[in-house]
Amino acid sequence: MASWITICDTCKREDWAERGASESDGARLAALVEPLAKGAGIPTRRVSCLMGCTHGCNVAIQASGKLAYTLGRFEPVEEAAEAIVAYAALHAKTETGQVPFRQWPQGVKGHFVTRHPPLPET
């Protein structure tokens, strides 16, 4: 089962208005994540708001039957996109969704916000 990266494309970091940016930070991050994920065979989607607006940019890593995670506080930069995609690739390889800490890409450390256990099978 593939692990998906869901990217909030409406996130705006605190200084967004001061920077006078025309595009949201989330959209900029999504544009960086999408080609990297495509190259790695990881599906992505954009959503408008993951309800973590005070600590954007936010993404979620999910796969059916596995632990799901939301991660935030990313800047819309290449290094963040690379770390997100690398983490999603590791998540995809696990049975449970739990990637051992020693394997975490440096760029995701300190960015975990929530963890959701999978729903029980009925």
Binding to ligand FES by residue 17, rule CB under 6 A?
no
CB distance 24 to 56 below 8 Å: no
Stretch that binds ligand FES, among 6-14, 33-41, 73-81, 89-97 (CB under 6 A): 6-14
Q: Which among 34-42, 48-56, 94-102, 110-118 is the span making contact with ligand FES, rule CB under 6 A? A: 48-56
Number of neighbouring beta carbons within 10 Å of residue 103: 11
Closest CA to 87 of 70, 51, 76, 55: 70
By CB under 6 A, tell whether 84 contacts ligand FES. no
**Residue whose entry in the numeric block shows the structure tokens 């995670």:** 69
Looking at the Cβ atoms of 3 and 70, the one nearer to ligand FES is 70
